[in-house]
Structure 1
Amino acid sequence: MNRKLQILSRHVLRQHLGLKSMRSISTSMPILISHRHHVGKESLVHRTIGNQLELSAAEFGDTEAIVSCHEGKRYTFRSLIQEADALAAGFRKLGLQRGDAVGLWAPNYMHWYLGMMGAARAGLISVGINPAFQGPEVAYCLNKVNVKAIIAPETFKTQNYYEILRSICPELADANGGRIRSEKFPHLQSVIIDSNDGLKGALRFDDLLDLANKSEREEVAKIQQDILPESRCNIQFTSGTTGNPKAACLSHNNFVNNGIHVGNRNELEGERICVQVPLFHAFGVVITIMAGLTKGATLVLPAAGFSPKDSLQAIVKEKCSVIHGTPTMYVDLVNTQRKLQVPLGKIKKAITGGAIVSPQLIKDVRQVLNVETVHSVYGLTETTAVIFQSLPGDSDDIVLNSVGHLQDHIEAKVVDAEGRCVPFGQPGELCVRGYTTMLGYHGDDDKTRETIGKDRWLRTGDQFILEENGYGRIVGRLKEMIIRGGENIFPKEIEDFLNAHPQIIEAHVIGVPDERLGEEVCAFVRLHEGVDPSSFTAETLKAYSKGKLAHFKIPRYVFTVEAFPKTTSGKIQKFKLVEMFKESLDKKHKTARAEN
């Protein structure tokens, strides 16, 4: 069966929902609870990334696999596997063994992509490290997952990666040929820097590619049978708002299968993708790299870091037919296109994920960027990447009001605070189960058990509504829900409303403390160019909202900002908005005391 609907008797339903009375439940109509298992038409595969690379090289051959516009580099699928095997043999020559971790600490450079592929072919674990991280954060990552080698550029913008590594690991300056002995980082053996210069203690990336001889490179193909699809291939650090990030361990099986099914839904065969998302993030490494690899799509890197102007130029020059980006990136891309009016031509698809997208933004992407269809993807780091996704041919109404349909071979349910399934169409916490579930958090069994139960159901932490037809929509993060005077308010609803305001480019809503009501609604907005920020006040917004939004949802506080604090992957850091509100309140109180 493609779907399973659980129809409960009134007696069982009463026990299930914890109800004392059944008077409010119709005796003539069965209740369908929010549980669904979507069995896909295409079977899962038992394959490693290295196996997939071989298949793609054989099938797509001289098709371009990746183009780095800012570096002027191009690889076909055939030349890619040759370079990946040279790198894999180089890793082995350095003494790295199957299961060792290789850190990839860089923006979107070719050496990041090659590093991931080479690590996979050598049976190593690639570890994506946020390129914006500073010394203490990088030190945490290196020790948390026992990184044995790290690859980085020498510099990017104001960030000097080599000097940061030297500052946290002084032994680097005295190392020979990139081999290190460090008391602080006992596992770290090698530092590889993509640089034309010879830097003390570091091995040049190009030299690593040339390190192994022909027979050592050929040996890489032979070891592929020894690498298990169930083994770890990647570690993703979660972008937590407090405390140190957790390290989610993902397998070859996770990566390859999710790549295949994402590629299927997005119909990526032969497409050219403008890649705005960072490669280290799940959006980059699975939804982009793995989906592209399995479907023979070409990845186009416009710039090392997100640049809407470079993206627009790359779309035209490289004839991109698909765009990948987070909602914030599309906001900036739309705004830049309105100014530059670049002759884009028709674009087939814009794929968005990583955060909640507003209906107004989807309309803007279509109209301003000349995009035929917009596809949503939804998932978490802990679910490899995608668990809900748009289907080909979805109507405008579905795309505008959902995160898509349950992905193939995934089981989902929506539960209340006690873990009981709620009826279809009712909000609760989304839980999922299937091949996408991570292996666990590295070195953190307690957190793993909190997230994944003994029955393998994974708690997403998202307040979600699952419909009977398999489509879903996010109401908001459970932790972001605002409780104002007993009313439950979900920021997304207000954000969607504000994003349709003619003067607003982007809006984000938070809950802030209130003595009487517990919490109040606070909106941060970014305005269109030419709009006077002083003219946009809470009273202005109140007048606009009258008759359109319930009074208790109308923001009491309104702040205008020129830019939002966000992670490198494009997610808005709402905890920083809370800090900004508190700072503003403190400043106001100090001014009032001074005047008195």
Structure 2
Amino acid sequence: MLNKKLQIVSRHVIKQRLGHKAWRCQSTIPAASQSYMHHIGKEPLAYRNVGQQLELAASQFGSTEAIVSCHEAKRYTFRSLLAEVDRVAAGLLKLGLQRGDAVGIWAPNYIQWYLSMMGAARAGLTSVGINPAFQGPEMEYCLKKVDIKAILATESFKTQNYYEIVRDICPEMADSEAGKIRSDKFPHLRAVIIDSKQSLKGALRFDELLDLSNASEQEEITKLQREIQPESPCNVQFTSGTTGNPKAAVLSHYNFVNNGIHVGSRNELDGERICVQVPLFHAFGVGITIMAAMSKGATLVLPSAGFSPKDSLQAIVEEKCTVIHGTPTMYVDLVVAQRKEQLPLGKIKKAITGGAPVSPQLILDVKQVLGVEAMHSVYGLTESTAVIFQSLPGEEDDRVLHSVGHLTDHIEAKIIDEKGCVVPLGQPGELCVRGYLTMLGYHGDEEKTREIISADNWMRTGDQFVMEADGYGRIVGRLKEMVIRGGENIFPKEVEDFINTHPQVVETHVIGVPDERLGEELCAFVRLHHDVDPKTFTKESLREYAKGKIAHFKVPRYVVPVDAFPKTTSGKIQKFKLLKKFEDSFHTQKSKSQSQAVRA
């Protein structure tokens, strides 16, 4: 069970487990000039679990719509949602799952995802968000990493058939009784629940899960809530690391509930209707969207299973959405679609964005083309339950452009240099944070947990940051080699390790390169075996090789064969020179294209 294996049920236990000295530094900077702030909020922190938060929402906003799925033609009020969630919770416990067990949720934006996550929380289980783009090997890693005991998935989406992928990596399932899987490869896996109308060998249909329990067993779920401690694990988010393998960040009920309350308050979501373009499995979806909406009685509107700008526009019109959630890339596509469709969007109060910086032109387009009154930004990490800094109500556009927002309530933040000393206000350094939002730790990886969280609970973000005296902050660079492609966090090492499995490849190094639409794209520099014709190794051939092995968004857009890599005298690859090589090549190609256009 996750909560036993982690052995973390409170922040005190984190201290005991880390057991190393906190970063300390004797600073000569006057306290008032230090890059340190503790933003004490007006609204107190809440001590309750996610299930109790849902009960509170049902009592406060009972007849208000909690979620609407346009593509499924389904609607739930907060009151009816709670009843359905408890059917899921009771069904999972009836299958033999126990408190703390991990439940993988593998699906795009269907109502089933929401019901499954809330059902797991109400049952005292730990939901595990799995990227719906993951292929078999990636799913296999997730199953083993956190000992997933049950998988809840939709049957298929686009080219993905989730049932077939699970069956292929766990062939024993096809010969097992539903809910009683026995696999040597996955000893913890017991049940696979598929949202399907047809019976699938070894799997339980989602409708069957709902019907497993009786009314008395569902009533027991309400009594169970007082036993689920707010500090206990609630959710696992996979986040990539420099080792190439995703780390499993464990978040608590306390993280989720308070993050939702303070994001919801800062963005004034009371009673709003939110067009949800972000994936629910992601930190943006589960923390900034689901929990914030629940805390303020806001309605979530799911336009489509996967992002579709045309469906989003239609949903905004038909469901009278007043708020939009999305990454900058999504807003770029939404603007393009609206210029074509010219739909009467109505009054949209705000567009909330995160995951990448926004450009001045995008803010202008969102306001002029979509008719949005204000754009709000949020900044945070998966490990910080999604939000550390966020926009204040009524702030000017200039703030969104030149900062990531104001420090959120009840959070401490400081900027330190390489020695751990706090730097003066306005000077860059690494951002560290402390407060209710800090994850419990990385599951099964105490060493990595110690690297990011000190004994006195300061969490290092790895971002180069500047803090101003008024509490606003801005990113000036990254300490980690992370690429943010359209809101998706990608670490080059994972992609490099994959490409290096190609039989034609000797060595690979991947960098992030600028992209007007996605913010960043991947470029792979590859050294091939001497007998390989470089012309045969292309982005198309690499994409074909990657099918079924790695998520599509991790496949580089640019592939550049090289004879050798620039290195330091100590043998380290100089990636900044690779970026220069790409930029020189890009500008040369662009100049040729412009020259040819002029001659034509």
Shift in Å at residue 476 of structure 1? 2.3
Residues in 2 aligned to 1:454 and 1:580: alpha-carbon distance in whole angstroms: 44
Q: Secondary structure at the match of 2:199?
A: coil
Instruction: Determine if contact 2:192/2:204 at 8 Å carries over to the other structure.
Output: yes
Residues 31 and 580 (structure 1), Cα distance of their counterparts in 2 relative to 1, 3 Å cut: farther
Aligned residue in 2 for 1:437: 438
Residues in 1 aligned to 2:458 and 2:360: alpha-carbon distance in whole angstroms: 30
Aligned residue in 2 for 1:16: 27
Counterpart code for 1:416: D
Aligned residue in 1 for 2:403: 402
Aligned residue in 2 for 1:468: 469
- Note the 1:403-418 alignment, pairs <5 A: 403-418=404-419
Instruction: Determine if contact 2:48/2:257 at 8 Å carries over to the other structure.
Output: yes
Residues in 1 aligned to 2:514 and 2:287: alpha-carbon distance in whole angstroms: 33
Residues in 1 aligned to 2:136 and 2:251: alpha-carbon distance in whole angstroms: 25
Residues in 2 aligned to 1:323 and 1:582: alpha-carbon distance in whole angstroms: 44
Residues 578 and 470 (structure 1), Cα distance of their counterparts in 2 relative to 1, 3 Å cut: farther
Q: Secondary structure at the match of 1:165?
A: helix
Q: Percent identity between the aligned chains?
A: 71
TM-score normalised to structure 2 length:
0.78
Residues in 2 aligned to 1:124 and 1:521: alpha-carbon distance in whole angstroms: 37
- Note the 1:95-114 alignment, pairs <5 A: 95-114=96-115
* 1:298 aligned onto 2:309: no
Residues in 2 aligned to 1:178 and 1:526: alpha-carbon distance in whole angstroms: 44
Shift in Å at residue 303 of structure 1? 0.4
Residues in 2 aligned to 1:141 and 1:37: alpha-carbon distance in whole angstroms: 36
Aligned residue in 1 for 2:269: 268
Q: Secondary structure at the match of 1:16?
A: coil
Instruction: Determine if contact 2:320/2:346 at 8 Å carries over to the other structure.
Output: no
CA offsets 1:518-543 (integer angstroms, 9 cap, x no match) = xx99644459xxxxxxxxxxxxxxxx
CA offsets 1:59-110 (integer angstroms, 9 cap, x no match) = 1011000000011110000000100111111011000111111100010011
Aligned residue in 1 for 2:536: none
Counterpart code for 1:63: T
CA offsets 1:323-377 (integer angstroms, 9 cap, x no match) = 0001111111112212222221221010001222223222221111110001101
Counterpart code for 2:88: L
Residues in 2 aligned to 1:281 and 1:64: alpha-carbon distance in whole angstroms: 22
Give RMSD over aligned pairs: 2.9
Instruction: Determine if contact 1:100/1:125 at 8 Å carries over to the other structure.
Output: yes
Instruction: Determine if contact 1:235/1:248 at 8 Å carries over to the other structure.
Output: yes
Residues in 1 aligned to 2:360 and 2:73: alpha-carbon distance in whole angstroms: 37
Instruction: Determine if contact 2:26/2:421 at 8 Å carries over to the other structure.
Output: no
- Note the 1:438-517 alignment, pairs <5 A: 438-479=439-480
Counterpart code for 1:322: V
CA offsets 1:229-273 (integer angstroms, 9 cap, x no match) = 010000000144751100000000000000000000000010000
Residues in 1 aligned to 2:453 and 2:558: alpha-carbon distance in whole angstroms: 30
Counterpart code for 1:293: M
Counterpart code for 2:122: R
Aligned residue in 1 for 2:5: none
Instruction: Determine if contact 1:241/1:573 at 8 Å carries over to the other structure.
Output: no
Aligned residue in 2 for 1:21: none
Residues in 2 aligned to 1:59 and 1:521: alpha-carbon distance in whole angstroms: 46
Aligned residue in 1 for 2:230: 229
* Gap runs ≥5 in structure 2: 1-24, 486-491, 493-510, 519-538, 544-550, 564-577, 586-600
Residues in 1 aligned to 2:365 and 2:242: alpha-carbon distance in whole angstroms: 30
- Note the 1:222-371 alignment, pairs <5 A: 222-240=223-241, 243-371=244-372
Shift in Å at residue 198 of structure 1? 0.3
Residues in 1 aligned to 2:558 and 2:420: alpha-carbon distance in whole angstroms: 30
Aligned residue in 2 for 1:206: 207
Q: Secondary structure at the match of 1:300?
A: strand
Q: Which moved more, 1:150-159 or 1:350-359?
A: 350-359
Aligned residue in 2 for 1:150: 151
Residues in 2 aligned to 1:307 and 1:30: alpha-carbon distance in whole angstroms: 49
CA offsets 1:445-486 (integer angstroms, 9 cap, x no match) = 0000011111211111111110000011111222459xxxxx
Residues in 2 aligned to 1:166 and 1:85: alpha-carbon distance in whole angstroms: 28
* 1:189 aligned onto 2:190: yes
Residues 31 and 271 (structure 1), Cα distance of their counterparts in 2 relative to 1, 3 Å cut: closer
Q: How many residue pairs get matched?
A: 492
Residues in 1 aligned to 2:479 and 2:236: alpha-carbon distance in whole angstroms: 25
Residues 293 and 479 (structure 1), Cα distance of their counterparts in 2 relative to 1, 3 Å cut: same
Instruction: Determine if contact 1:31/1:423 at 8 Å carries over to the other structure.
Output: no
Q: Secondary structure at the match of 2:429?
A: strand
Instruction: Determine if contact 2:154/2:194 at 8 Å carries over to the other structure.
Output: yes
Residues in 1 aligned to 2:145 and 2:453: alpha-carbon distance in whole angstroms: 21
Shift in Å at residue 401 of structure 1? 1.4
Residues in 1 aligned to 2:156 and 2:552: alpha-carbon distance in whole angstroms: 25
- Note the 1:167-178 alignment, pairs <5 A: 167-178=168-179
Residues in 2 aligned to 1:306 and 1:62: alpha-carbon distance in whole angstroms: 28
Aligned residue in 2 for 1:36: 37
Residues 572 and 166 (structure 1), Cα distance of their counterparts in 2 relative to 1, 3 Å cut: closer
Shift in Å at residue 428 of structure 1? 1.1
Instruction: Determine if contact 1:356/1:474 at 8 Å carries over to the other structure.
Output: no
Residues in 1 aligned to 2:348 and 2:562: alpha-carbon distance in whole angstroms: 43
Counterpart code for 1:256: V
Instruction: Determine if contact 1:234/1:249 at 8 Å carries over to the other structure.
Output: yes
Counterpart code for 1:358: S
Residues in 1 aligned to 2:233 and 2:515: alpha-carbon distance in whole angstroms: 41
Aligned residue in 2 for 1:128: 129
Counterpart code for 2:349: K
- Note the 1:483-562 alignment, pairs <5 A: 523-525=514-516
Instruction: Determine if contact 2:127/2:236 at 8 Å carries over to the other structure.
Output: yes
* Gap runs ≥5 in structure 1: 1-13, 18-24, 482-490, 496-509, 511-519, 528-560, 566-570, 589-596
Q: Secondary structure at the match of 2:421?
A: coil
Residues in 2 aligned to 1:97 and 1:522: alpha-carbon distance in whole angstroms: 46
Residues in 2 aligned to 1:30 and 1:254: alpha-carbon distance in whole angstroms: 29
Shift in Å at residue 16 of structure 1? 3.2
Residues in 1 aligned to 2:365 and 2:355: alpha-carbon distance in whole angstroms: 18
Aligned residue in 1 for 2:596: none
Instruction: Determine if contact 1:276/1:302 at 8 Å carries over to the other structure.
Output: yes
Residues in 2 aligned to 1:166 and 1:200: alpha-carbon distance in whole angstroms: 9
Residues 573 and 466 (structure 1), Cα distance of their counterparts in 2 relative to 1, 3 Å cut: farther
Residues in 1 aligned to 2:123 and 2:335: alpha-carbon distance in whole angstroms: 41
Residues in 2 aligned to 1:242 and 1:104: alpha-carbon distance in whole angstroms: 25
Shift in Å at residue 397 of structure 1? 2.0
Aligned residue in 2 for 1:391: 392
Counterpart code for 1:471: Y
Residues 521 and 350 (structure 1), Cα distance of their counterparts in 2 relative to 1, 3 Å cut: closer
Q: Which moved more, 1:233-242 or 1:216-225?
A: 233-242
Instruction: Determine if contact 2:453/2:459 at 8 Å carries over to the other structure.
Output: yes
- Note the 1:374-389 alignment, pairs <5 A: 374-389=375-390
CA offsets 1:381-414 (integer angstroms, 9 cap, x no match) = 0001111010111122222211111000000011
Instruction: Determine if contact 1:287/1:386 at 8 Å carries over to the other structure.
Output: yes
TM-score normalised to structure 1 length:
0.78
Aligned residue in 1 for 2:532: none
Instruction: Determine if contact 2:414/2:431 at 8 Å carries over to the other structure.
Output: yes
Q: Secondary structure at the match of 1:437?
A: coil
Residues 579 and 15 (structure 1), Cα distance of their counterparts in 2 relative to 1, 3 Å cut: farther
Residues in 2 aligned to 1:296 and 1:438: alpha-carbon distance in whole angstroms: 26
Higher-RCO chain (CA-CA 8 Å, sequence separation at least 6) = 2
Instruction: Determine if contact 1:49/1:120 at 8 Å carries over to the other structure.
Output: yes
